[in-house]
Chain A
Amino acid sequence: MENYIYFNNAATSWPKPPEVIEAMKRNLTECPVFGDRQNIASAKDVVKIAREEIASLFEAPDSNRIVFGSNASELLNAIIHGTLKSGDHAISTYAEHNSVIRPLNTASKRNGVELTYVRVDERGYLDIDDFSKAFKDNTRLVVINHGSNVTGALQDIKKISDIAFRHKVPLLLDASQTAGNIKISLKETPVAYLVFTGHKALFGPRGIGGAYIAEGFDFPPFKQGGTGILSEDPFQPERIPVRYETGTRNVPGIVGLTEGVRFVKKIGISKIIEKKHALLSILIDAMKDNKKIILYSPDDLDKSVGTISFAIKNWLIDDIGYVLTNSFNIIIRTGLHCAPMIHEILGTLPIGTARISLSYFNSEEEVERLIKALNQISVLK
């Protein structure tokens, strides 16, 4: 395979730390007694270890309330469909991913759940006043995308959480873009539900995600089946976390995620942010200097998860991605990024934007090559 420079980390991070690959390889090679509900006396429960690592990353009070699923979408579906019933009202935003929009719209279509999508501004930020005004007597859930996968805008989750708490409405935070990219402390900002995915900034493999479900916010499980415990019970056990973990778990994925989380902790979120901000500053300054480039992302990196959406005047969005990938060997992403509603506000429907998303593993040299490519492309039309 050719050598590519990879700037599509908001979709899936790459490369993965070597320890992630090693741990998964080890798990797939060794006898499956660890984390697979077996009787071995010396069993180290790798799933329990994973819960503890993740709970400590998010400063969650109870590691048993970390549950695993196949991805963030699955957990978002479980929570949305598990908590909302006919006659309920839910609040969300224009910055959401389809992993939230589609289950919410389905809950509305199937069960008559009432929805309010609060608009965001042209950088992707939620207007807190508009958000406050959206609450009704029957509001039962708030679903917020912590960091936009289109513009990178980070929502002020402290304020949002305070408002939801005042209205006694559970907050479901979609941390797919932020987990591993910024500090998330459930001690400082408690939420009812936090959903994360393993394969982005937590450096795990694809096909593993999870949620933190705070005490007092349980809901009927989405799936029922084998749990490896309480097998005589004809119904799904009430006990957390197995209540939400039906069937054989993706243990190699969980093991890989554990090592990804350990990697994030070893480097430290502040160091990760520092490195990415240094690279992003170089990139954003160069993009601003290029008058052919239209930026859709916030300037203030402290209020951004670091994802940059852009267009180049006179170039089709799809062509920018095609040329960068195929002529320059630089991978970015183009299109709607599965978040169609925010493009209504950006004015980028139906074609979307070109998107650059960095990881800790990107280098200054790679960023300079991207800048050079963008300048070379933009000057031609």
Chain B
Amino acid sequence: MKISVVKIEVLDDCFKDTTLFDFIFSKALQDDFINSLSSLGEFEYYTEFPKPFYKVFRNGSFMLKGIKNSPNMRVSLFPENKVESLNELIAFFHIDNSLMPILKKE
């Protein structure tokens, strides 16, 4: 089964200009999927940690991070290119239209 985003949770952030979400995927994320994120930006993956931590950073656009074996991915959209970044993530993760209002509202 293909992994898809099944839920989006909007989070409060300490910083007023950043928009913060959790993407919740249909199943826990594993190495193959996590490694595929490297095409999105600067990619770090710390497999040495008790629960491996990954992060993707694109300056002025967004930051994604999460833990292997978890379905949650933390998404920060930076204020400079919020709309473009969001559209790119929607396309990359094939986010379903039904979840769009949550994202667009933010």
Contacts and interface: CB of A to CB of B under 8 A. Distances in A.
Given A335-B14, A336-B14, A352-B14, A323 B49 contact: yes
Contacts of A328: 49-51
A327 B52 contact: yes
Contacts, number: 34
A380 B65 contact: no
Interface residues of A, number: 15
A311 to B, nearest CB: 15
Contacts of A376: 48-49
B70 A326 contact: yes
Contacts of A323: 46, 49, 53
B45 to A, nearest CB: 11
A58 interface: no
Contacts of B70: 326
A327 B67 CA distance: 7
A216 interface: no
Chain B contact patch, size range: 10 to 19
Interface in A24-58: none
Given A326-B53, A327-B51, A380 B46 contact: yes
B92 interface: no
A219 interface: no
A340 B52 CA distance: 32
A351 B76 CA distance: 14
A322 interface: yes
A352 B18 CA distance: 15
A326 B66 CA distance: 8
Interface of B: 14-15, 46, 48-53, 55, 65-67, 70, 74
Given A327-B52, A327-B67, A329-B50, 17 more contacts: A322-B53, A322-B65, A322-B74, A323-B49, A326-B53, A326-B66, A326-B67, A326-B70, A327-B46, A327-B49, A327-B50, A327-B51, A327-B53, A328-B49, A328-B50, A328-B51, A376-B48
13 contacts: A319-B55, A322-B65, A323-B49, A323-B53, A326-B70, A327-B46, A327-B51, A327-B53, A328-B49, A328-B51, A335-B14, A376-B49, A380-B46
